[in-house]
Amino acid sequence: MKRRMKRLSALLAAAAMTVSLTACGNTASTETERVEESADNAGAETNGQDGTAKAENDKAASGEQKTITIAWTNIMDSQQQIWEKYIFAPFLEKHPEVEIDFQCLPDLQNTVRVQVAAGAGPDMFYMDSIDIPDYASTGRILNLEKYREQYGLDDQMFDWAIRSCLYQEQMYALPASVEATAMTYNKDLLDQLGKDVPTNREEFVAVCDAALEAGLIPISFGYPGQTLLITWPYEHYLTCYAGGEKTAQLLRGEIGFDDPDIRGAFELLKADWDAGYVNDKKSGAITNDEARSLFANQKAVFNYEGPWLILADGAAKNWDFEWGQCAWPSMKEGVPAGSAITLGEAIGITANSEVADLCVEMMMDFYSDKERVGKAVAEGFSTPAVAIGEEDYPADMDENIRKTLDVQSANMELESVGYAPWGFFPAKTTTFLDDNLDKVFYDKMDMDTFIEKANETIAQDFEDGYTFAG
């Protein structure tokens, strides 16, 4: 469902007026003509003396009015409001000649891919960095090198986030958010089991076995209809069994999936699956929302999800227990407990957009305003790919968000970090792993075949020009 942001600055200026904006992709209300008329009147009353409202109307009448269309994933209402408050509203106040059409789509990736291929896509859209080569090689997204230089992006944003948005050494997307994976745990249940937060393989197994004996689920996880979520478990095992450097060697083509450490990570995950540690081998039958409910209702000790569970989705607000997040425990002696960094979201701009300058300006206005970024993140917005200082956050930040940000910051600074598949792995390989690992879980594909086909797939990605961004 579309959201019209027309004359939002006038709406915000009318102190006595309450406005309900249309929600993206969720149950929503539509603005009536009465609200539009009130907005116009409010704008006239606020700006009449200096002629701003008349100038805006003149621009619209002369054909100078411009619309930025944005397609984003189906985010929660609270996230939509942060976009409106901290990104759209300040920009529309600066550019009264602009309207914003913000669409949040349940099946975003497939919908946008079809639209962009037909030359009718949005001006800017959410994308995963692994999709950049496909869009860039076919000329469907804009080369952003001139903006990279204009805004000094290499000086403002994390270097690895910039590299995640390159294709053939050219920038084709804006880094939107960064993440560091984590293990989420129920501290109350650990106390009931008489266990500490595990930091190594032995401690992890002891907790999982104790949980099973107590009738609890060691790790809540579900993925039907969303096989891309399978990246969570195999990332943890690659990072904490094979290690970040071995993962980097795999992605540079120096070793294959048959390397003893890479293969060993998948074999250990399969063994833990067979042991019933992962939702008693029922993850293929329950959704991610159901897995979250099991954790929220204290039926599970651990959850695979990282900081996004607390920040963007606000899950901890409804938890009635002490919880925590930390690096995933070591899965092999000599490999430290670890976390994987990744670009959580990237922004693509369609090649035929007539408002590309405005799109980049809007986002850079936000990213460059550290106080605004700090307030947005404090309200649960995904952390942008820019350094945020302690002084940038409001003092009254929500305790849950503060805790999560502290863990994410610590995990990003670990001596050994991994590389999350959804930000660093090549597209064909990621798709193969996501679509076929559950066949290994349920004994419909043996490990030898899985490893062999994974090697064939990543070889094709290298032939297609994939370059590791780590």
User: How confident is the model over 221-250, as pLDDT tens digits?
Assistant: 999 988 889 999 999 999 999 999 999 999
Residues 6 or more apart in contact with residue 319 via CB below 8 angstroms: 296
- Cross-strand partners of 179: 342
Query: To the nearest whole number, what is the mean pLDDT of the chain?
Result: 87
- Distance in angstroms (rounded) separating the CA atoms of residues 323 and 208: 17
Q: Report yes or no: 373 and 362 within 8 Å, Cβ to Cβ.
A: no
Whole-structure pTM over 0.85, yes or no? Answer: no
Q: What is the rounded distance in angstroms from the CA atom of residue 289 to the CA atom of residue 298?
A: 14
Q: Does residue 46 register a pLDDT over 80?
A: no
Angle formed by the axes of helices 370-378 and 356-368, nearest 10°: 80
- Alpha helices per DSSP H over 285-341: 288-296
* Res. 39 pLDDT band, cuts 50 70 90: very low
Residue 299 CA to residue 297 CA, distance in Å, equals: 6
Q: Which residue has the tokens 């942001």?
A: 5
pLDDT tier at 26 (50, 70, 90 boundaries)?
A: very low
- Model pLDDT for residues 315-333, shown as the tens digit of each residue: 999 999 999 999 999 999 9
Closest CA to 67 of 103, 108, 34: 103
Judged by average pLDDT, the poorest of 18-27, 152-161, 348-357 is 18-27
Greater pLDDT, 342 or 40: 342
Any idea of the CA torsion for 365, 369, 370, 376, to the nearest 10 degrees?
Answer: -70
What are phi and psi for residue 355, nearest 5 degrees? -125, 30
d(CA 136, CA 351): 9
Residue 262, phi then psi, degrees to nearest 5: -70, -50
Closest CA to 167 of 183, 191, 148: 148
d(CA 256, CA 260): 9
Confidence of residue 62 (pLDDT cuts 50, 70, 90): very low
Residue 45 has pLDDT above 80, yes or no: no
Q: Given pLDDT bands bounded at 50, 70 and 90, which one contains residue 371?
A: very high
pLDDT at residue 1 in the model: 33
Residue pair 343/175 in contact (Cβ under 8 Å)? The answer is yes
Q: What is the pLDDT of residue 249?
A: 98
pLDDT score of 243: 97
Residue 280 region, left (φ>0) first, then alpha (ψ -120 to 50), else beta? left
Q: Which of the four pLDDT bands, split at 50, 70 and 90, describes residue 44?
A: very low
CA angle 251, 255, 261 (to 5 degrees): 95
What is the chain's percent helix, strand, coil content, to nearest 5? 50, 15, 35
Q: Give the lowest-confidence range in 47-56, 153-162, 206-215, 238-247.
A: 47-56
Alpha carbon distance 371, 110 (integer Å): 35
175: part of which helix (H) or strand (E)? strand 174-180
Confidence check: pLDDT of 43 > 80: no
